[in-house]
Amino acid sequence: MCGRFVMTYPVDDMAQLFEAVPSNDLPDRERFNICPTDPVAVVTSEEDARRYRTMRWGFLPHWYKSPSDGPLLINARAETIATKPAFQMACRQRRCLIPATGFYEWTRDADGTRLPWYVHSETETPLVFAGIWQSWTRGADQFVTCAIVTCAAGQGMSDIHHREPVTLAPEDWALWLGEAGRGAALLMRAAPEGRLQAYRVDPKVNANTASGPELILPHAA
């Protein structure tokens, strides 16, 4: 699962990394507590060109009559993404990359208190989540929405949570975006051992209104 994440890399650096044309509305600031329904930066491949653009985090199936008509779909399970009606067309035709500095996950202590962890790349380079996207329109309401693909947790995450976002290495980006032929389904797996590192952070991040770089500082257990 992925319910909150962090993005601190500058727009220009990310556009260069992905060889994508940036949109003018991208959030151009460090964000330490991105929550569902927030705008997020996403890479798509459309008409033989990559775009770095903004989407709403929270996938809206085309049959929703309003943004709150059904469950908030922030994640899509790799095991069912190709057959679940909400996601199957996006899985085939509208895949995207969602870059992040890191993400949060939670465990509980013996008293049931939620204990937050910050998960990041071992190399301190961007994590790149596999995503899918969908345009949704009802009258004057228009949203371009996305969800993060998740899979069963690997050895690097299973002690913290039973799910993890699918993270893609640079050599896999073109395949996930549909630029390098078929076979994207093979990428929906847990990160190799060692790619993800985690440490405890301050419980103040439990509040979705919390912000600031102190949220990702190590916190004594």
pLDDT score recorded for residue 67: 92
Largest CA-CA distance found in the chain, in angstroms, rounded:
53
User: 6-29 pLDDT, tens per residue?
Assistant: 999 999 999 999 999 999 999 889
pLDDT score recorded for residue 48: 83
Distance (Å, whole) CA 138 – CA 94 = 20
Q: Which residues of the chain have pLDDT under 50?
A: none
3-state secondary structure 83-134: CCCCCHHHHHHCEEEEEECEEEEEEECCCCCEEEEEEEECCCCCEEEEEEEE
> Residue ranges per domain, the chain?
5-216
Contact 26, 43 (CB under 8 A): no
pLDDT score recorded for residue 155: 83
CATH 3.30.420.40 describes domain 5-216: no
Contacts of 177 (CB under 8 A, 6+ apart): 43, 44, 45, 50, 95, 96, 97
pLDDT score recorded for residue 189: 96
